[in-house]
Structure 1
Amino acid sequence: MINVLIVEDDPMVAEFNRKYMEQVEGFQCGGWASSVEEAKKYIAEQAIDLILLDVYMQESNGLDLLSFIREAGVNVDVIVISAASDMSSIKKAMNFGAVDYLIKPFHFNRFLEALTGYREHISIVRERSLLSQEELDRLIYHKSITKDLTRLPKGITKSTLGMIWNCIQQHHKALFSTEDIAESAGISRVSMRKYLAFMTEIEVLSMETIYGTIGRPVYQYQVLPQAEGIMNSYI
């Protein structure tokens, strides 16, 4: 198992990251630190393989921890997860050896890509004494052999998905049904159900089943907070 330390001063965000991490096979949470100094204590006392590191914290800057790790020669890897999107922070993190950098808000597919890529990286490092060129390239360029996480499934087209998303943004800010969006977009209900099911699967929409007194249940959809970031990776 890959032992992970979450360094994040917001308890709700730390818990969110932990729940995401526990959905990925091969990872376990070894602890949570709310500051750089607290993280240093964890590193000194526990065998930590990977740190999920925030940059902007009330008492400290996460990049100071990254600098400390490299200067002290601590054998631990770091994935930065931060709202810091300025080139200076990103460049500094990369120069100090961060293996990946996720900008908040991110969606699960990008998080999954980061962790599965790291899991492949660490398996090569632990299990190989000699490397092929392909294995070395994956280590250097952080290439993953996992599937393309933003590839559209069969029967879903980019143009139609984009048109439906635009329609939802313009006309359906609150709860809406399959019939509502199908009428607005001019698409059959059968086709619309397929697209709405896909958007629910990738966590763009939430779905609620409403049972009336007679007839079939009605499926109500609502846009989730992280929807725009996810859709940008598909359309």
Structure 2
Amino acid sequence: MIRVLIVEDDPMVAEINKRYLDSIPGFVCAGIVSDVSEAWAFLETHPVELVLLDIYMPGKNGLELLTEIRKEGKSIDVIVISAANDIPSIKKALRLGAVDYLIKPFEFERLNAALKIYRTEHEIMKEQEELSQEELDQLLLHPNKTGADHRQLPKGLTQETLKRVVDSILEMKGERFTAEALANQVGISRVSIRKYLKFLTGIGFVSIDLAYGTVGRPVYQYYVNEFNLDRIDPYL
């Protein structure tokens, strides 16, 4: 689970953001604080991966907290959620490494898209030690944050075949499968199916385990990651 700290001085807004957060699989609200001092004290004593950060607050503003996080080298990501829509604030937040910036008031779908994109990037960075240029481009060059973007497939994969592969996997209704079994069901070679499975594993749509039987060599088994079903949407 991705642990999130909400930094917001308006209790009603903080509660709304928490409800939004709780409705999206993969996230848990680690805490709610109302100013920068409370936020820093919380970050010093609790593990947090992501901060939803307001800018306009009593005392120090949110950008000062973001500056301190970067100065101390903490591996914490920040999504700014603020009424501050002036260019200097936006530029400063982005220069300090904010992964997204939402201007109040915003629609739930905008926050939903931001968190889902963040979850995808977080899981890929956590699960893989290295990235190819194509995989890195998919993380860095998505056209927008609205969830309506369409991403390019790696070279050698086609959208038509990918859809057949995904449909066949979903038809298994969560059961584990081997590359050979899936290749037979889709009607393509095992070499080709492994390319598609490598891609689907890379984006977190499927996961892989090594299964040890009573005899013979261990077999790689794949299964759908139920929390990441939406990760395939931009490619179909």
Q: Normalising by structure 2, report the TM-score.
A: 0.60
Partner secondary structure for residue 29 of structure 1: strand
> Could you say which residue in structure 2 is the equivalent of 1:101?
101
> Could you say which residue in structure 2 is the equivalent of 1:47?
47
- The Cα offsets for residues 184-214 of structure 1, whole Å up to 9 and x where unpaired, read as xxxxxxxxxxxxxxxxxxxxxxxxxxxxxxx
Specify whether residues 146 and 133 from structure 1 end up closer, same or farther in structure 2 by C-alpha distance, changes over 3 A only.
Answer: farther
> Could you say which residue in structure 2 is the equivalent of 1:117?
117
Output the CA distance in 2 between the equivalents of 1:94 and 1:37: 22
Output the CA distance in 1 between the equivalents of 2:90 and 2:30: 26
- The Cα offsets for residues 142-171 of structure 1, whole Å up to 9 and x where unpaired, read as 56899528xxxxxxxxxxxxxxxxxxxxxx
Is the Cα contact below 8 Å between 1:77 and 1:98 reproduced in 2?
A: yes
Task: State the AA in 1 paired with 2:135.
Answer: E
Task: State the AA in 1 paired with 2:136.
Answer: L
**Structure 2 residues not aligned, in runs of 5+:** 150-236
Output the CA distance in 2 between the equivalents of 1:106 and 1:30: 22
> Could you say which residue in structure 1 is the equivalent of 2:31?
31
Output the CA distance in 2 between the equivalents of 1:118 and 1:143: 14
Specify whether residues 115 and 102 from structure 1 end up closer, same or farther in structure 2 by C-alpha distance, changes over 3 A only.
Answer: same
> Could you say which residue in structure 1 is the equivalent of 2:126?
126
Q: Kindly state the Cα deviation for residue 96 of structure 1 after the two structures are TM-superposed.
A: 0.2
Aligned ranges 1:3-152 → 2 under 5 Å? 3-141=3-141, 148=148
Task: State the AA in 1 paired with 2:10.
Answer: D
Across the two proteins, how many residue pairs are aligned to each other?
149
- The Cα offsets for residues 207-229 of structure 1, whole Å up to 9 and x where unpaired, read as xxxxxxxxxxxxxxxxxxxxxxx
Partner secondary structure for residue 90 of structure 1: helix
- The Cα offsets for residues 77-105 of structure 1, whole Å up to 9 and x where unpaired, read as 00000000000000000000000000000
- The Cα offsets for residues 26-70 of structure 1, whole Å up to 9 and x where unpaired, read as 000000111111101111101100000000012220000000000
Output the CA distance in 2 between the equivalents of 1:137 and 1:12: 38
Is the Cα contact below 8 Å between 1:3 and 1:50 reproduced in 2?
A: yes
- The Cα offsets for residues 8-41 of structure 1, whole Å up to 9 and x where unpaired, read as 0111100010001111110000001111111011
Is the Cα contact below 8 Å between 1:117 and 1:142 reproduced in 2?
A: no
**Structure 1 residues not aligned, in runs of 5+:** 150-235
Specify whether residues 142 and 68 from structure 1 end up closer, same or farther in structure 2 by C-alpha distance, changes over 3 A only.
Answer: farther
Output the CA distance in 1 between the equivalents of 2:9 and 2:36: 10
> Could you say which residue in structure 2 is the equivalent of 1:161?
none
> Between the two proteins, what is the percent identity of the paired residues?
54
Output the CA distance in 2 between the equivalents of 1:106 and 1:146: 12
Is the Cα contact below 8 Å between 2:50 and 2:79 reproduced in 1?
A: yes
Task: State the AA in 2 paired with 1:108.
Answer: F
Task: State the AA in 2 paired with 1:26.
Answer: G
